[in-house]
Amino acid sequence: MRKMLFATFTACLCLLTLTACSGETAPAGQSQAQQSRSLDAESVRITAKARKAYEQFDYDRAIELYTQALEKDGENYAALSGKGVALAMRGNGNGVKKDVADGITCIEKALQHAPDDPASCYNLALAYKIDGRSDEAVTYFQKVIDADPSNTWSYYGIATIYGDRGDAANTVTWLRRAVELDGENVRNAARTQTHFDSVRRDKAFRELIYGEE
């Protein structure tokens, strides 16, 4: 199960163009809620296939497979969370707001089964960000950080939100924390992502990301 949750986090690589989220994050453990029962083995197997489709940007196939996994075990919170973020990503690409809304519903349901699951909190933060609910996105990125202080891309996710707002001071504060964990990948992402266009001339930003003095 740790492997499943880790893959959910690393699937943030697929969201590079949205949140500048890239690279790997630390694996999260099982939530206490989910440890009390075993998941259906076939549901877990199908979830792994769905995850691979998601990582290949094939959101339609991922959603189809996650749905199959949930037909085997409706309490498979990893499948619910995975389906939710795949729906949100598809909605972000095709402009269908219902996909995003349905995705959020799926992830929120996953958190009902496993309230402390960091991977689902991360996916909900991404989905809220897509939906323009940036304050709620920050809240859920922070939940991930509380559970896993080494989760680079949650710090980065918060930084992108402040970057979009043109808040240079907070952008740099959160980016610095991400840089401390994974400097090369964070700097490479921040140099190219449009989230930071409004703060790109800020002196502290340029010192941190470009090494200028």
pLDDT, tens digit (0-9, with 9 covering 90-100), for 37-62: 688 999 999 999 999 999 999 999 99
Pairwise pLDDT comparison (26 vs 79), residue with the higher score: 79
CA 82 to CA 20: how far, in whole Å? 19
30, 5 Cβ separation under 8 angstroms = yes
Q: Where are the alpha helices (DSSP H) in 11-76?
A: 16-19, 32-35, 41-55, 59-72
More confident residue, 8 or 45: 45
Q: What is the pTM of this model?
A: 0.83
Contact 63, 46 (CB under 8 A): no
* pLDDT, tens digit (0-9, with 9 covering 90-100), for 129-178: 999 999 999 999 999 999 999 999 999 999 999 999 999 999 999 999 99
User: What is the CATH T-level fold of the domain 2-145, as seen in this structure?
Assistant: 1.25.40
pLDDT tens profile 106-121 = 999 999 999 989 999 9
Other Cβ atoms closer than 10 A to 19 = 23
Mean pLDDT of 10-28: 37
The candidate with the shortest Cα–Cα distance to 103, out of 79, 73, 138, 136, is 79
Which of 158 and 1 is assigned the larger pLDDT?
158
| pLDDT computed for residue 120 by the predictor | 96
Average pLDDT of the residues in 192-207: 97
CATH code 1.25.40.10 region(s) in the chain: 2-145
- Quickly list H helices, 56-197: 59-72, 77-94, 97-113, 118-130, 134-147, 152-165, 168-192
Q: What mean pLDDT do residues 88-93 have?
A: 96
Say yes or no to pLDDT of 1 above 90. no
